[in-house]
Amino acid sequence: MNELFATTETQGAPRPLADRLRPKSLAEVSGQPHLTGADGALTRMIESKSLGSMVFWGPPGTGKTTVARLLSNETDLYFEQISAIFSGVADLKKVFEAARLRRSQGRQTLLFVDEIHRFNRSQQDSFLPVMEDGTIILVGATTENPSFELNAALLSRARVLTFKSHDEESLTLLLGRAEAEMEKRLPLDEDARALLITLADGDGRAVLTLAEEAWRAAREGEVFGPEDLLKVVQRRAPIYDKGQDGHYNLISALHKSVRGSDPDAALYYFARMIDAGENPLFLGRRLVRMAVEDIGLADPQALVVANAAKDAYDFLGSPEGELALANAVVYLATAPKSNAVYTAFKAATQAAKFNGSLLPPKHILNAPTKLMTEEGYGDGYRYDHDQPDAFSGQDYFPEKMGRRQFYKPPDRGFEREINKRLQYWNNLRRERNPR
């Protein structure tokens, strides 16, 4: 398996363009100059003639498999490739035994594991002994955040190298190589060419596949504009996994855009998640969370609007109900912000945990029995509605705890009015309960 990118063409069938254009050396790899450029991390490793185990982390189509093959070729390591999707413990044992035999004969193995995050924790642990004793150089590839998906023990023995999405310049270079390989220009005008690069979404393999589709579809002398190109290639689904990084990254971006009072950014991330197929009711629930966490009583209507939008979507469904959610996104983003209640609740929760089962002051306890009356329950309670300004100013905290202030409203939005009320009551409390 050491032959560089060895493939078999059956019955003269041409290989896909992306396969024909695979780089033959690290210097030909595009889009990853921080790894494969003259001063790149991998270039320096090869110059030092010493490779350690690595995890390649990055989106699809950024060259992870290609680079792994090139590393084995340039260091004369035997290249073995498995996929975590199709392999189990028995397969790993066979690979390890073959690598041990190979090592006894004087040759080390570079084991490339595609989708390594698909292995469970115990399967990941099985790599540790053969990594430690040098039986294999492990190169794992993953599209998911290694910090979340891989064992700490495995990560401590491997260097994580990040592969970046191809930028416009890199994808343009790939299209230029494709045209040189095909010996003809792409049948696209400038706008359609720019659209094709956008549709590739940073994926080098995808940009070549889309280009190949355009060549197949074009008749002699035909040049596609953007609308024609979309009809020919349809469109790629955005890179988005509802249970993984794409999901969490975008919901985080939406939440922080709302919190940061940027309705345009918030709408953009909302639209991206809807476009990628996210469940709109999940977004509706998150909008309700934003209303209570980041706006709170600065605008009491925020929760009403968010909840109504969630209910409207539940009633209307897609696509009509999505507009109700979009309304809520803009309302929340433009509302005054406060986390005062959120902070107060956390502080009150902490106080409740740390202060044990303190009895409330007896004057605010009911006395439904004679014994409780004799114990002083309810003694001295002043009914607030019978007091001047409907305010008695009594202390309601447990005596051993003393008064606390958890809620500190800012001077913004409706909480400005709440602040005035609290200050007014505090002044009355001091007047009526001098100490």
Contact call for residues 62 and 31 (beta carbons, < 8 A): yes
What is the rounded CA–CA span in Å between residue 141 and residue 64? 7
Is 246-334 a domain of CATH 1.20.272.10?
yes
For residues 278-303, average pLDDT: 94
Q: In the chain, how long is the greatest CA-to-CA distance?
A: 103
Coil, strand or helix at 421:
helix
Q: Which of 151-160, 228-237, 382-391 has the lowest mean pLDDT?
A: 228-237
- pLDDT, tens digit (0-9, with 9 covering 90-100), for 387-411: 888 988 888 888 888 888 999 999 9
The percent of residues in the chain predicted with pLDDT above 70, rounded, is 94
Domain residue ranges of the chain, discontinuous segments joined by +? 17-162, 168-233, 246-334, 354-432
Contact call for residues 188 and 196 (beta carbons, < 8 A): yes
- Say yes or no: do domains 17-162 and 354-432 share a fold: no
Q: Which stretches does DSSP call E strand in 126-229?
A: 136-142, 159-162
Say what the pLDDT of residue 7 is.
46
What is the rounded CA–CA span in Å between residue 59 and residue 78? 26
Query: Taking Cα atoms as reference points, which of 124, 158, 118 lies closest to residue 139?
Result: 158
Say what the pLDDT of residue 287 is.
97
Q: What sign has the CA pseudo-torsion 61, 64, 70, 74?
A: positive
**Spacing of C-alpha 58 from chain mean position:** 13
Query: Taking Cα atoms as reference points, which of 334, 344, 362, 342 lies closest to residue 289?
Result: 342
The CATH number of the domain covering residues in 354-432: 1.10.3710
Out of 3.40.640.10, 2.60.40.1180, 3.40.50.720, 3.40.50.300, select the CATH number for domain 17-162: 3.40.50.300
- pLDDT, tens digit (0-9, with 9 covering 90-100), for 64-121: 999 999 999 888 899 999 999 888 888 999 999 999 999 999 899 999 999 999 999 8
pTM: 0.62
Helices vs strands, H then E, count in the chain: 21, 5
Crossing angle (nearest 10°) for helices 168-182 and 190-200 = 110
